[in-house]
Amino acid sequence: MRFHYRLPFGAEVQSGGTTRFRLWAPNQPSVSLVLGDPAAPPLPMQPEGGGWFAIETADAPPGTAYHYRLGDGLLVPDPCARAQASDAHGPSIVVDPSAHDWQSGDWAGRPWEETVLYELHTGTFSEEGTFDGIRRRLDHFARIGVTAVELMPVADFPGRRGWGYDGVLHYAPDRAYGDPASLKRLIDEAHGRGLMVFLDVVYNHFGPDANYLHVYARDFFTDRHDTPWGAAIDFSRRPVRDFYIHNALYWLEEYRIDGLRFDAVHAIVDESDQHILHEIADAVRARIGDGRHVHLVLENDANQTRFLGDDGYIAQWNDDIHHAFHVLLTGEAGGYYTDYADRPAERLGRGLAEGFIYQGDPSRYRDGERRGEPSSHLTPTRFVGFLQNHDQIGNRAFGDRLARLADPAALQAAQAVLLLCPQIPMLFMGEEWAATQPYFYFCDFHDALADAVRNGRRQEFAKFPEFADPAIRQKIPDPNAAATFDASRLDWPTHSMADRMAAMERIRRLIDLRCELVVPRLAGAHPGTARAWTNGAFTVSWVMGDGAVLTVVANLASEEAEGTVTPAGRLIFESAPGLASRGVPARLPAWAVLWYLEIPDGPG
């Protein structure tokens, strides 16, 4: 089976053996196509009106390198290229999408309730740092019970190192990771093993280097709004909206991606009658239909629930419960953790039961500004929970993982809460074996931009007391250094050490228990009810879709806690043998977790 999503722009191989090229360049009087050698005679493209230029030629078969030449002679890559010859500044490559013969082309995905996510960065997950490097380790995910691999952004960015959030060519997998065929092989073989593949996409900004749209399509951007990362996208323009709508459909159809995670949508400002996020969701549902499970997930720091709906976005990342977990496990109370430092168990209980902790509540960290929208009416599966992710580790000065910050018993207790609760859980690469190496922010900029990023990052931490001394800040790793990237690469040889294998076995057992007892009851599950005992101990109960009651009793503190709640049902998990036999209510030891399931009587 072969899949080709036909784009209305870029380089499209036609059935008759020709290739059509189409570019939106409203700020150019003329545009030409240059095939192969940049010094080759340019082929004038024909204006179509509305800023569009096009040409169809038989001289550009698959594999042909090409540029667009602007009116002033500047050569630029295709913003919709399916592949680059080398890097984002260089020539684009004509690709025939139908060249890959899919072995799992009839794969229809998996229901959302079965999702256990595993976020990874392609360049640092494996020794190879490529799509093939991930593909060769697909059995690892199956062994621990993960059902969905989530790739951090792979859109082409300048240089060989980067998180992916500075991408500039949204249709081209970065050449450092492999060509389009190698990404398709990864997805194809993942599907053959029953694994979904999600992709992180960035629709709120472009990276600061190698984005040539400013030269020939200034109307792509607007100065009416700002983003923390550069010029805001002007979603009032039809070509701009179509660029992103087709990009989502392209990944879902041509690459058979099972789900998209939309980065930082709070930074997408769209004052149109229909918000671009709604239009993307509508286009996906109309195009994909009911034959496949395709999942759209948001990251939204504003805690807005307005985009969540049965016909749109299925879930949203839940930073709130991460922050509450982190305070309980580490005691940190600086920065945004300020909002979770008082009554952390009560706050975590609310987040597990109702989704967001801040549902329109005033935020001390934000100087009293109210944050969030009500979420207590939503089913728990509308939220993706996690203890760690790329942001929460990599945006620390020294890339500290929880395995270095928290007591091992504390981390294990938090994992037992996360992996059995009705929210959709996510692990970050290496978390399953309690990896202790850092995960840094890294990039591959040069000259003045490299200096600005390096110095800006160090200056960010100046407001923290522990980094007040400039000499201390100088020790923060340089994001542009190759050594920073290398230090972030997973150390696979350590994962076979006895203690790491034991950590993986704990994760596997928890996921197995989730699949057996929780997943079958998730559809139609109700929001929970929570009660805090102390600053570290709490109870949360949920009525599941089949009427069963799932209850967690946990003490995420280093001191013993006394409780007053007696859960019903049978014990399905205890963090230490014999823990439940001590009785609840009674004294709950430090870092203790108990799960109970009460199943209603069946007919007869």
Consecutive H or E run containing 120: strand 117-120
Question: CA–CA separation, 37 vs 67, rounded Å?
Answer: 9
Q: Based on C-alpha coordinates, what's the Rg of the chain?
A: 25
Question: CA–CA separation, 72 vs 439, rounded Å?
Answer: 43
Question: CA–CA separation, 121 vs 134, rounded Å?
Answer: 10
Encoded tokens for 557: 């503190």
Q: Which residues are catalytic?
A: 263, 299
Question: CA–CA separation, 254 vs 100, rounded Å?
Answer: 10
Question: CA–CA separation, 202 vs 280, rounded Å?
Answer: 13
Question: CA–CA separation, 150 vs 160, rounded Å?
Answer: 20
Question: CA–CA separation, 583 vs 208, rounded Å?
Answer: 59
Question: CA–CA separation, 272 vs 162, rounded Å?
Answer: 33
Question: CA–CA separation, 511 vs 504, rounded Å?
Answer: 11
Q: How far is CA 546 from CA 241, 402, 599, 601, in A?
A: 41, 35, 8, 11
- Burial status of residue 443 (CB atoms within 10 A of its CB: 0-12, 13-18, 19 or more): buried
SS3 (DSSP) at 558: coil
- Please state the separation of Cα 93 from the chain's center in Å: 27
Name the pairing type of β-strands 315-317 and 295-298. Answer: parallel
